[in-house]
Amino acid sequence: MGGIFHFAAAALATIFTMVDPFGLVPMYLAAVSATPAAARRKIPRKAAIIAGIVVLGTGVAGREVLHLLGISLPAFSISGGALLFLVALDMIFGRITGARETAQERNEAALAADPSVFPIAFPMIAGPGSILTVILLVELAKGEPVKLAIIVLALALAIVTCYLTMSFAERLMRLAGQTGMHVLTRLLGVVLAALAIQFVLNGITGYLHPELLPAI
C-alpha cells in the first residue's frame, strides 16, 4: 500500500510540476492576445482536451517504442531525469525552456488564427517535457493497472488545472501578477529538480542492482 501511495504522490508531483498550469498563464495570454473575445472562450476547453489526448497517447506509445529499441528502464530513468533536471533549471532561473516552446514556435504562434491547437495544446501543455514525463512514469508502472490508473488520474488533474488557469487567466494575472506567477514557477522548478535527481538515482540503483529497482 505504501508503494502505491508513494508512486501516486511522485506521479502527481512530477506531472503537475512539468505541465506547470500556473506558469502557463502568461504564455496563454500572449498566445490569445490577438484572438477575438467571442472565440477566446472556446480555447481553454479545446486546448485542454487536445493536450490530454496527445500526452496520454504518445506516453503509452512511447513505452512500446522503448521496448522495441531495447532501451532499459534504468537507462531511460537516468536520461529522463537528466533532461527533466535541465527543464527544472530553466524554471528556477526564469529562462524560457525549449521543452515547452522554442523561439521559432513562438514566432509561428503569432501568425496562428486558432491558437488552441498550436501553440497552446502543443507545445505549451503537451510539450516534449510533459510527454517524456508520462513515458517515464508509464515505464516505471511496469504494466500494473493501479499505477497506470494513477498516471491517468494525475494527468487528468493537471490538464483540468490547466483548463481552469486558462479560463481564469486574466483574473489570476491581476491577482498574482507576473512576479507572482514567476515565483510559483520557480518553486515548482525546485520540486521538479529534486524529482529529476531521484529518477537519476533510481536509474543508477536499477542498473547496479536490478533486484533493488525501486517503484519510482
Sequence ranges of the domains in the chain: 2-212
Confidence of residue 55 (pLDDT cuts 50, 70, 90): very high
Residue in 77, 82, 97 with CA at minimum distance from that of residue 20: 97
Question: How many other C-beta atoms can be found within 10 angstroms of the C-beta atom of residue 182?
Answer: 16
pLDDT score for 182: 80
Residue 83, amino acid: L
pLDDT score for 65: 86
Name the average pLDDT for the chain: 85
pLDDT in tens, 61-96: 887 888 888 888 888 889 888 988 988 898 888 776
More confident residue, 185 or 216: 185
- Residues of the chain with pLDDT > 90: what percent? 38
- Residues of the chain with pLDDT > 70: what percent? 88
Most confident range, picked from 17-26, 42-51, 97-106, 173-182: 42-51
Buried b (16+ CB within 10 A) or exposed e, 134-171: bbbbbbbbeeeeebeebbbebbeebbebbbebbbebee
63: left (phi over 0), alpha (psi -120 to 50) or beta: alpha
Q: Among 65-74, 109-118, 144-153, 181-190, whose mean pLDDT is lowest?
A: 109-118
